[in-house]
């Protein structure tokens, strides 16, 4: 999406997110919502009379919400207090932070930036907002993955089509680095939700290249080559960050 306004509409209509059939279906839900009167008070008495206009107001509300720092990113955690010099971290937490930041150890901060920006003074979102291919295992619980020919290739499709040409093959399998804010309360991890605990995620990072058999299927025939990155077509295996 080229604007926050465009982005706000995507999850409302995406088949694997909120799965509303159309903008009109979203507006129909708004008309029936307990806050419909408040919506009309905000955007006008006729705000929900027209489907196109109602959808535009709805996405405008989401667009503005995502830019409200007090509502959307207050940065009010204990770690933020630590960065402000208002609260200490325990000794084990300091060891964990050192491991997180150490380029020769966890090296997590290379993608999940953990420090206040030297340029802007902005507090860390724990993401560099870049894209990376990790070769996470295929999630066989997803209905789409019942088709062995289906692959979610991130930047080069199928949802995104502007980078799907052969000249962009090096981007296939790459996904946006997520923020780690509130990561401890999540119940699914990575782009396909294949893992369900932070322990499992860390174990994957540590052992993926050393013990691939822990994460990927064994070959179907005895003596066959072990197939790494079972959720990527073989021609894109070289895109995985190692």
C-alpha span between 11 and 197 (Å, rounded):
25
Tokens standing for residue 50: 């027209």
Q: Which range is least confidently modeled, 45-54, 71-80, 126-135?
A: 71-80
Who wins on pLDDT, 228 or 222?
A: 228
Q: What is the pLDDT of residue 152?
A: 96
- Name the average pLDDT for the chain: 94
Q: What is the pLDDT of residue 223?
A: 65
Q: Are 141 and 117 part of one and the same domain?
A: no
The pTM of the full predicted model, rounded to 2 decimals, is: 0.85
Q: Are 145 and 229 part of one and the same domain?
A: yes
Q: Are 198 and 107 part of one and the same domain?
A: no
C-alpha span between 37 and 18 (Å, rounded):
23
The model's confidence at residue 225, banded by pLDDT at 50, 70 and 90, is low
Domain boundary residue among 31, 51, 72?
A: 72
Rounded to whole angstroms, the maximal C-alpha distance in the chain is 71
CATH number assigned to the domain comprising residue 229: 1.10.760.10
Q: Are 185 and 218 part of one and the same domain?
A: yes
Q: What is the pLDDT of residue 72?
A: 86
Instruction: Please count the other Cβ atoms lying within 10 Å of the Cβ belonging to residue 50.
Output: 13
- Full domain range(s) for residue 83: 74-122
Q: What is the pLDDT of residue 220?
A: 62
Question: Would the pLDDT of 140 be above 70?
Answer: yes
Q: Are 15 and 88 part of one and the same domain?
A: no
- Calculate Rg over the CA atoms of the chain: 22
């Amino acid at each position: 999406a080229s604007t926050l306004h465009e982005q706000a509409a995507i999850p409302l209509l995406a088949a694997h997110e909120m799965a509303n059939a159309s903008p009109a279906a979203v507006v129909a839900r708004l008309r029936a919502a307990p806050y419909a009167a408040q919506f009309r008070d905000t955007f006008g008495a006729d705000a929900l009379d027209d489907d196109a206009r109602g959808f535009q107001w709805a996405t405008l509300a989401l667009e503005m919400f995502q830019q409200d720092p007090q509502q959307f990113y207050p940065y009010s955690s204990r770690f933020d207090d630590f960065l402000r010099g208002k609260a200490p971290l325990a000794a084990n937490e300091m060891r964990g932070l050192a491991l997180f930041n150490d380029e020769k150890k966890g090296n997590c901060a290379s993608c999940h930036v953990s420090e206040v920006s030297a340029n802007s003074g902005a507090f860390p979102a724990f993401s560099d907002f870049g894209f990376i291919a990790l070769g996470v295992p295929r999630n066989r619980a997803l209905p789409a993955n019942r088709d062995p020919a289906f692959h979610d290739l991130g930047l080069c499709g199928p949802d995104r089509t502007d980078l799907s040409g052969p000249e962009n093959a090096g981007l296939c399998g790459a996904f946006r680095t997520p923020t780690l804010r509130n990561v401890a309360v999540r119940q699914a991890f990575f782009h396909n939700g294949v893992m369900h605990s932070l322990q499992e995620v860390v174990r994957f990072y540590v052992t993926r290249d050393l013990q691939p058999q822990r994460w990927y299927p064994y070959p179907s025939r005895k003596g066959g080559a072990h197939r790494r990155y079972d959720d990527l077509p073989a021609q894109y295996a070289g895109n995985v960050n190692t």
